Structures are given as structure tokens and as C-alpha cells.
Amino acid sequence: MIVVVSAGLGTPSSTRRLAEQMANATDAAVTARGEALDVHHLELRELAGEIAQAFATGGLPTPALTRAKDLIASADGIIAVSPVFSGSYSGLFKSFFDVIDPKSIADTPVLLGATAGTPRHSLMIEHAMRPLFSYLRAVTVPTAIFAATEDFGGGEAGRELASRIQRGASQFAALLVAEPVGVDGFVQRDEDRQQHRKLRSNTSIASGPTAFEALLKRHNGEA
């Protein structure tokens, strides 16, 4: 199951339009791999009042915001798309990810997208969005999708946008369907995956480093 987070403010919204294109391409890429995909959309514009209330009350969420947070926490992957405001993601976009549990999307694959009126803002994803999700310890897909107004008009720009969406969706789908393999080739269950994540992030070094003399003995063939 993936959650598509769209921070567009207009109706209709180019941000929502891009998010839908990214979700459709991901659905097609996952289906091509023989898997089914459940897609849920979160329009942050509809949660703006609840997000503001959570800040004003010291973090007390409303039922609608609680459902959104639970949906995010249970997602196998996230598509996150924001319009560009003042050279960065929107305040609504940032506020939503401020109110969720910062640990809830750790190790979750995230496909990033952004929209703006001009291509001059195309690097916003790299200098603003990707660091945000790195801080949240999510796994960001290498290809991100930026769309300027001209990219929605068809022609060469539209074909290039479609190509970027396809490439990003393919990378995203590969992360979604990848199954960690356990002992004897059995696929790990969800609880096993969580334990694997904990072990990977909390590697013990209690035994300390191997003594240099011991390393030399092994190099010389001694027991």
C-alpha cells in the first residue's frame, strides 16, 4: 500500500495532477512485476485546519489527522509532491511532516515530486525535499520528478516529463516489491523486517575491535 501526499492548494491543482501521474505510473510498474498495489491519496489542503490545530494545542491531533498519520505509518511507500513556494516546499507540506511521528517513515521508500511555474526551481527537490526525508531516515528514490507549467502542455516537454515519471516509478516499484529474504530462503514477515531494521541500525560493538596481534596471527596462518 502506498500513500500519495499532495500539498497543492488550488482546485484543480497541478501538484495533484503530477501526484496522480506518478501514482498511476507506479501502479503500472508494480502490476508489471506481477503484484497488486493499493493507493491512498492525502490532500493536505483538506487537513490544513487540523494541522494548524495540532500545533496550537501542543500536538493534540484531530480524528482526521490521526487517520492520516496512521495511514502514513502503515504505508509501504510514499509519493510526496509539493508546490515550490519561495524556493522551497510549501509551509503546509513541511507542517504535515512536522506533526507525524519522525520515526514512522524510517526505511520507507519515498518518491519525490514538485511543481512550479518555471524550470528555475527544479533543484528545490535536491536542496530541500531530499534532505528533509533523509532527516526522517526515509529511503528516497534516486530519480525525482519536477514539473514546470510548460511540462503539462504536451510536446517535447510533456514527453520528457512522462519519461522522468516512468523512470522514477520504475525505481520506486523495485523498492516496493523487494522482499528481504530470511533463513533458508523464506520471506521475512513484517515483524521480522522490523527486527532486521533495528538490528541494522543498532549494530553492537560491545566486543570491541580485534587485537592487532590476533590479526597478525591469522594472517600468518596461526590459530
Instruction: Indicate the SS3 state at residue 10.
Output: coil
- Residue 58 is predicted with a pLDDT of 83
- Residue 179 is predicted with a pLDDT of 56
- Residue 213 is predicted with a pLDDT of 52
- The domain segmentation of the chain, as residue ranges, is 2-177, 186-219
Q: Which are the contacts of 220, defined by CB distance < 8 A and separation ≥ 6?
A: none
C-alpha cell at 4: 500519495
- Residue 210 is predicted with a pLDDT of 42
Considering Cα of 9, then 15, then 17, then 22, what sign does the dihedral take?
negative
- Residue 93 is predicted with a pLDDT of 97
- Evaluate whether the domain defined by 2-177 bears CATH number 3.40.50.360: yes
- Residue 59 is predicted with a pLDDT of 79
**Model's pTM, two decimal places?**
0.80
- Residue 60 is predicted with a pLDDT of 82
Among 132, 83, 143, 86, which Cα is nearest to 105's? 132
Number of Cα atoms under 13 Å in the Cβ half of residue 119: 6
Average pLDDT by stretches of 10, the chain with 223 residues: 95 93 98 95 96 88 92 97 95 95 95 95 96 97 96 88 97 86 40 42 35 47 48
- Residue 80 is predicted with a pLDDT of 98
